[in-house]
């Protein structure tokens, strides 16, 4: 199974310059509790198990991005990691 954060833009026929994805084996579909698209640069997936595990997939802005774009992504990332820090284990990946 494939989850992509930039899919809404592509589905509308609009250009999609950023996006992160998460691939999950079909056998694990029943373990998915939540998939949350925060932006085209950030998304999370939470899996059920002995303890819930939340994976965060992020695509950080490059050096040529504006300071505002960078600040927005890092602020959202900080909120996500705080949200899931209590009670869940957080796995972070970089695209």
pLDDT score of 89 more than 60: no
Q: Rounded to two decimals, what is the model's pTM?
A: 0.74
Rounded distance, CA 6 to CA 39, Å?
8
Rounded distance, CA 39 to CA 31, Å?
23
pLDDT digits (tens, 9 = 90+) for 25-56: 999 999 999 999 888 888 999 999 888 888 88
**Antiparallel, parallel or unpaired: β 53-58 and 89-94:** parallel
pLDDT score of 92 more than 70: no
pLDDT digits (tens, 9 = 90+) for 55-72: 888 888 888 989 998 999
Per-residue pLDDT at 91: 55
What is the three-class DSSP state of 59?
Answer: coil
């Amino acid at each position: 199974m494939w989850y992509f954060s930039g899919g809404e833009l592509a589905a509308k026929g609009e250009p999609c310059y950023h996006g992160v994805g998460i691939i999950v084996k079909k056998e694990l579909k029943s373990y998915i509790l939540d998939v949350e698209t925060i932006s085209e640069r950030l998304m999370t997936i939470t899996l059920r198990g002995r303890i819930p595990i939340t994976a965060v997939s992020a695509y950080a802005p490059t050096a040529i991005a504006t300071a505002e774009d960078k600040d927005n992504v890092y602020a959202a990332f900080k909120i996500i990691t705080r949200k899931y820090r209590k009670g869940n284990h957080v796995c972070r990946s970089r695209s």
